[in-house]
Structure 1
Amino acid sequence: MNTQDWNVALYDGQHSFVTQYGKALLDLLAPRPGERILDVGCGTGHLTKRIADCGATVIGLDNSPNMIAAARCAHPDVTFVLADARDFTFDEPFDAVFSNATLHWVTPPEAAARCIADALKPGGRFVAEFGGAGNVAHITNAIRNTRYALTGEDHPHGWFFPSIGAYASLLETYGLEVQAAWLFDRPTPLEGEDGLRHWLTMFGGEMLRGLAAEEIAHVTAQAERTLRTTHYRDGQWFADYRRIRIVAVKTGVEF
């Protein structure tokens, strides 16, 4: 699993787009009063709270103690649990499992798919969005190439960015039938002149792992120079996001 130390203030402050873009996914989930719903990778719990406000009984799950502590503080009326998306169980099944901007962090993906399928009732739905094939490819290539030129090491980013076909096949293995899927570009604005640098601090820890502070500064500065002509305009950086969005139903039939 791609490990990450989460800075809650930076996440909710300069990267609040994670929650803002997730609101559209809630329309696909369409939570109903009385439903039992699990939010996998709930972060600071803002989308979990929106699900609860629809009248559903919702549980937010995250493997970050910092995120869970912040979620419990912000939304004391919602249940949050500290658990690994690759290894969780509940006594009662769910009508739906929801996940926004999380599953590209979770490897091996088979473990998460198995847990999600096991958590659903027959006929229950799985609604998710996360990084898809080609996500932030320009940014990761710039960092990877600069790091290689500096150290001679080829250090992969560690994320899971699948195609629709690959992910649909994976879900079917565990009895989840994909009913709708999208893979789309979503250039995402990053806040301020230092937006790319802050993004790397927030999300790029694996790509920079093992480097000394002065090496990180060099790699980051070189990546900014490389990307400025294509990813910076009108005083703002943009990340080359590509998202995969999935709606699947548990059939109970494993392919």
Structure 2
Amino acid sequence: MATDKWSADDYTTHASFVPALATEVVQMLAPKPGDKILDIGAGDGILSLAIADKCAHVHATDGSANMVAYANSRVAAGKVTNVTTEVVDAAVDIKRKISAGVYNKVFSNAAYHWILGSVTSEQQRAQAFKDVYDILPSGGEFVVECGGHGNVGEILVALVAVVKTTWAKRGAKKTTADIKSKLWPWHFATNDEIERWLVGAGFEVEVLERHYRPTTLNGGYGGMRGWIETFGFSFWDGMSAEERESAIDEAVELLIGSDWLEREQKWVAGYVRCRFKAVKK
């Protein structure tokens, strides 16, 4: 079994902006009192709990057992009775773990670029959408916001550069193709890909948008390092702790020119968001 590298503490410290910026996709979801909602990639559970105030039930799922445990602790601490949690790998587990017809809405914020990145083929990515279609009842809705094509492009360039440099110091050559196939954890899909997978699954696409959303990172100058440590952990596979720390330092230095605002003393990352709503007719 792969090691679970997600840290709930790191996520709440460095990525609290993720659920905080979900207003528009939650409005698109439009939770109602009778809704039963499956939340895919629920992370620390904060958004699931907010949605639960407006609907009958939320089942908060995530591929990380660490994150699900943290979400469950939030549920228990708040004595919330209409939120349940479960470890579910949405790339492969949806039809195995989720019964068809139970949930009339499937929701996801900031997770599908991870889910699509965890598999490698067009067929597997299309199947991930087909699995959602199959568990929804007629009239069921699939509402998602995720990283779109071009998301955090400048950060990716910096990470790839420092990985190449670090391995070159060992006398090993890492190509961009090597890094993308083995270390790169995301797939930032184009709108054309999203539409193809949705329509191929049988959905009717009601909304499909792509927006550039410059995003302020948490934590002042330390925010970029925090972001890289929280989300970019796979890039350092095979490196020593010393190599990892040096590579992250170098990546932060490279990004000062593009993302650090000296006068405001903050990092602003180049987020690109894909947002869609699809309905099973």
The TM-score with structure 1 as length reference comes to: 0.92
Q: Report the Cα distance in structure 2 between the residues aligned to 1:4 and 1:182, rounded to whole angstroms.
A: 32
CA 17–217 in structure 1, closer or farther in 2 if over 3 Å, else same: same
Is 1:73 aligned to 2:78, yes or no? no
Is 1:115 aligned to 2:123, yes or no? no
Question: 4+ runs of 1 displaced by more than 3 Å?
Answer: none
For residue 136 of structure 1, report the CA deviation from its aligned partner.
0.9
Q: 1:104 matched to which residue of 2?
A: 113
- Of residues 166, 169, 174, the one that matches 1:153 is 174
Q: CA RMSD of the aligned region, Å?
A: 1.7
- Of residues 146, 170, 175, the one that matches 2:202 is 175
CA contact (8 A) 1:195 1:237 kept: yes
The TM-score with structure 2 as length reference comes to: 0.84
Q: Mapping of 1:1-255 within 5 angstroms?
A: 5-76=5-76, 77=81, 78-86=83-91, 87-89=93-95, 90-93=98-101, 94-106=103-115, 107-108=118-119, 109-151=125-167, 152-154=173-175, 155-156=179-180, 157-191=184-218, 192-233=220-261, 234-251=264-281
For residue 190 of structure 1, report the CA deviation from its aligned partner.
1.4
Question: What count of residue pairs does the alignment treat as equivalent?
Answer: 250
Q: Report the Cα distance in structure 1 between the residues aligned to 2:204 and 2:161, rounded to whole angstroms.
A: 38
- Listed as ranges, the gaps of 5+ residues in structure 2 are 120-124, 168-172
Instruction: Please give the per-residue CA displacement for 1:41-81, whole angstroms capped at 9, x wherever unaligned.
Output: 11121111122110322211112111111111111321111
Q: Report the Cα distance in structure 2 between the residues aligned to 1:3 and 1:239, rounded to whole angstroms.
A: 28
CA contact (8 A) 1:193 1:235 kept: yes
For residue 204 of structure 1, report the CA deviation from its aligned partner.
0.1
User: When you count helix as a share of all residues, which structure comes out higher?
Assistant: 2
- Listed as ranges, the gaps of 5+ residues in structure 1 are none
For residue 199 of structure 1, report the CA deviation from its aligned partner.
0.6
Identity of aligned residues (%): 34
Q: 2:170 matched to which residue of 1?
A: none
Q: Which deviates more from structure 2 when the two are superposed, residues 227-236 or residues 209-218?
A: 209-218
User: When you count strand as a share of all residues, which structure comes out higher?
Assistant: 1
